[in-house]
């Protein structure tokens, strides 16, 4: 499932992010990928241990914790702390698949079920920089307003097109879901969405209670916690 989640950050938060990032020290983005990724990656990032990256990442995770659409779609269990990148002057990231396992700051490892890109620059501020995601339904081109997030399976082939004008700023990170299988997560999200719509239309009814019971029994069957 590829899902657009709007307005994760407020206008005020975006302004603060942009102010901090304008003064940040960027490093070569190839420092955080393996040999395969390094061959096709040309961008800059905040250092993984950067105090600024940690500070801004905490703001993002707190915002996502308050976002019901994100929780329903991702069913998050653990996150890789958000990272930040910048593309300009032709920088790009060629077609690749994200690594299946990431090492966390505490030394533990996390299975990357879902990838997230949170856009921090408005689309009109730069040319190029589209995120291209391939799945069984073809290629999807993503270039969202600042503050919006795209969520997609980490198993997807994807790339960032060259930025030919301006600068593309974004945060990117991964998470391990309580439900490993993407199709099962998609079914749960769609079922949950329909239950919420029925509740909005009819209130709590015998039918919505029964459907919610089916949702939780499926989640109980599939969740790994």
How does pLDDT run across 102-112, given as a tens digit for each residue?
999 999 999 99
* Residue 127: partners with Cβ closer than 8 Å, 6 or more residues away: 163, 164, 165, 166
**pLDDT > 90? residue 202:** yes
Q: What is the CATH number of domain 182-222?
A: 4.10.860
C-alpha distances (whole Å) from 200 to each of 196, 197, 210 are 6, 5, 16
Cα–Cα distance for residue pair 70/189, rounded to 1 Å:
10
pLDDT of residue 136: 85
CATH superfamily of 3-177: q2cbj1_9rhob like domain (2.60.120.620)
Cα–Cα distance for residue pair 101/110, rounded to 1 Å:
6
Cα–Cα distance for residue pair 25/7, rounded to 1 Å:
27
- 182-222 shares the fold of 3-177: no
Contacts 24+ apart (CB under 8 A), 136-139: none
With CA atoms as reference, report the closest residue to 180 among 158, 155, 159, 157.
155
pLDDT band, residue 35 (cuts 50/70/90): low
The domain limits of the chain are 3-177, 182-222
CB 110 within 8 A of CB 104: yes
Percentage of the chain lying above the pLDDT 90 cut: 92
């Amino acid at each position: 499932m590829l899902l657009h989640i709007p307005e994760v950050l407020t206008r005020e938060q975006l302004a603060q992010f942009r102010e901090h990032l304008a003064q940040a020290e960027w490093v070569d983005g190839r420092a955080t990928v393996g040999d395969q990724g390094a061959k096709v990656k040309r961008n800059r990032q905040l250092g993984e241990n950067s105090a600024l990256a940690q500070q801004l990442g905490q703001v993002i995770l707190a915002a996502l914790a308050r976002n019901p659409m994100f929780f329903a779609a991702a069913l998050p269990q653990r996150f890789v702390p958000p990272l930040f990148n910048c593309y300009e002057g032709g920088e790009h990231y060629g077609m690749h698949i994200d690594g299946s396992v990431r090492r966390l700051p505490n030394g533990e490892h996390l299975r990357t079920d879902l990838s997230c890109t949170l856009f921090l620059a408005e689309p009109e501020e730069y040319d190029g920089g589209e995120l291209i995601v391939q799945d069984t339904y073809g290629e999807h081109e993503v270039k969202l307003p600042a503050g919006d997030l795209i969520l997609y399976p980490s198993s997807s082939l994807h790339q960032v097109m060259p930025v030919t004008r301006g600068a593309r700023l974004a945060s990117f990170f991964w998470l391990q879901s309580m439900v490993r299988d993407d199709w099962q997560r998609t079914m749960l999200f769609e079922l949950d969405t329909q239950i919420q719509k029925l509740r909005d239309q009819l209130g709590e009814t015998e039918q919505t209670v029964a459907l919610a019971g089916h949702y939780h029994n499926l989640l109980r069957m599939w969740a790994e916690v």
